[in-house]
């Protein structure tokens, strides 16, 4: 191998080492979110028309008729107060959507439409113009369009019906047009705050250190285990360039605390890193009680007078206790070894949950036990 080839091989090895190191690091954009930069929930009320007889029943949903009368009145069509149109192809619905951060007027967003009356299906319907309001009562988008319904329902005159998925909820892709942008603090002031997705003192400090090492000392400061404040340019264009640099910085996040997550309904157990068990002895067994009922027929004797045939119930109770094996855990053993020992005995997931809870109560489980 020549000197040039040797240098090339060394460079490749160094590059692979750097790539493997980078693969273990996370970007700041994956660990944090900019405070105030978030989606905003919108909600509205509207009418879906054009249904094939599957709309609201007039006598049971008076607000649908009231809404239709108000709409017709705005178009110059006056319906007498004592007249209630018999509607079968109209349904009152709620419309909701998420307005992403930095959405500008003229952009479109997806909307979801759900019935609030007794309409059986929204298939084939069209949503009429409906304003979507934010939590402050301001209108941020206008929704309208043809619905896409994934569910299907059918019924016969004798009362038999079939329903596939949910036919009373539909979506309109790009069905709402943004009318005004949502307020955001990103363009105001000369500072930004990054909020960690998972609170941790060590990770917050490492985020601040990574920013200071790249941008300059004193640029970032960890306020608490969740927030990191940064000094940013006041000019919006420079602030965007600043965030482009910061969000692509890579760092090694801190390892999470020792946790054991138990789903008591499904028996699923997730064991985090650094979970250990103090010295403890465990014996686990089940006591099974089985009650079985049988019946027998009692016949009267031959030539007996007044005798009748009787059914006599017989009950049998069996008590069995499973053989349990005790096993000893030495101090500092990992929970992986604990699970392996319990599985070797043949314990079911429910038994493992009971053992973990008992170890926690005994103070031998060096982890936070979370039951969901």
pLDDT per residue as tens digits for the range 135-178 = 999 999 999 999 999 866 665 555 555 666 788 999 999 999 99
368-371 vs 259-263, strand pairing mode: parallel
Task: Tell me if residue 335 falls in helix, strand or coil.
Answer: helix
| Mean per-residue pLDDT over the chain, rounded | 80
Q: What is the dihedral of CA 249, 254, 259, 261, to 10 degrees?
A: 10
- Interval 253-263 mean pLDDT: 84
Question: What's residue 297's pLDDT?
Answer: 67
> Does 258 have pLDDT greater than 70?
yes
Question: What's residue 333's pLDDT?
Answer: 66
Distances (CA, A) of 52 to 55, 115, 246: 8, 15, 55
> Does 56 have pLDDT greater than 60?
yes
Using CA atoms, how far apart are residues 125 and 46, in angstroms rounded to an integer?
A: 12
**Token pair in block for residue 77:** 């069509």
Q: Are 327 and 337 in contact, with CB atoms under 8 Å apart? A: no
Q: Are 240 and 193 in contact, with CB atoms under 8 Å apart? A: no
Spatial CA neighbour of 364 closest among 284, 275, 277? 277
Q: Write the DSSP assignment of 4-61 as a string of letters.
A: HHHHHHHHHHHHHHHHHHHHH-EEHHHHEEETT---EEEEEEEEEE--SS-S--TTT-
**Token pair in block for residue 223:** 């306020």
> For 262-319, how does the pLDDT look when each residue is reduced to its tens digit (9 = 90+)?
877 777 778 777 777 777 776 666 544 454 556 676 667 666 666 677 766 665 655 4
- The interaxial angle of helices 349-361 and 335-345, nearest 10 deg, is 130
> Does 236 have pLDDT greater than 80?
yes
Question: What's residue 201's pLDDT?
Answer: 94
Using CA atoms, how far apart are residues 223 and 220, in angstroms rounded to an integer?
A: 9
Q: Are 192 and 239 in contact, with CB atoms under 8 Å apart? A: yes
Q: Are 178 and 110 in contact, with CB atoms under 8 Å apart? A: no
pTM: 0.67
> For 61-81, how does the pLDDT look when each residue is reduced to its tens digit (9 = 90+)?
888 888 888 888 888 888 887
**Token pair in block for residue 281:** 């002895």
Q: Give residue for tokens 């405070």.
A: 35
Note the residue count of the chain. Answer: 372
């Amino acid at each position: 191998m020549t000197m040039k080839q040797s240098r090339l091989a060394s460079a490749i090895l160094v590059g692979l080492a750097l790539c493997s190191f980078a693969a273990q690091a996370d970007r700041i954009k994956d660990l944090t979110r900019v405070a105030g930069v978030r989606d905003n929930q919108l909600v509205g009320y509207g009418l879906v028309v054009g249904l094939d007889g599957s709309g609201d029943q007039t006598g049971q949903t008076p607000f649908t008729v009231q809404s239709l009368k108000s709409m017709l009145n705005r178009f110059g069509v006056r319906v007498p107060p004592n007249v209630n149109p018999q509607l079968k192809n109209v349904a009152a619905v709620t419309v909701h959507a998420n307005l992403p951060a930095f959405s500008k007027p003229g952009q479109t967003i997806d909307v979801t439409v759900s019935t609030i009356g007794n309409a059986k299906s929204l298939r084939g319907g069209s949503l009429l113009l409906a304003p979507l309001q934010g939590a402050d009562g301001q209108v941020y988008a206008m929704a309208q369009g043809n619905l896409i319904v994934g569910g299907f329902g059918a019924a016969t005159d004798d009362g038999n019906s079939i329903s596939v998925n949910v036919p009373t909820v539909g979506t309109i892709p790009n069905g709402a047009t943004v009318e005004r942008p949502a307020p955001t603090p990103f363009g105001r002031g000369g500072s930004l705050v990054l909020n960690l997705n998972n609170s941790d003192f060590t990770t917050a400090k490492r985020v601040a250190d990574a920013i200071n090492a790249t941008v300059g000392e004193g640029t970032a400061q960890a306020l608490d285990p969740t927030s990191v404040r940064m000094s940013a340019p006041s000019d919006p264009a420079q602030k965007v360039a600043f965030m482009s640099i910061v969000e692509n910085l890579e760092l090694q996040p801190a390892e999470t605390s020792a946790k054991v997550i138990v789903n008591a309904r499904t028996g699923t157990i997730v064991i985090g890193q650094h979970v250990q068990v103090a010295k403890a002895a465990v014996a686990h067994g089940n006591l099974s009680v089985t009650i079985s009922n049988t019946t027998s027929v009692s016949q009267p004797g031959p030539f007996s007078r007044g005798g009748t045939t009787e059914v006599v119930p017989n009950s049998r109770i069996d008590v069995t206790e499973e053989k349990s094996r005790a096993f000893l855990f030495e101090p500092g053993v990992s929970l992986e070894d604990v699970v392996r020992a319990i599985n070797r005995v043949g314990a079911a997931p429910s038994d493992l949950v009971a053992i973990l809870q008992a170890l926690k109560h005994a103070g031998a489980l060096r982890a936070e036990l979370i039951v969901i």
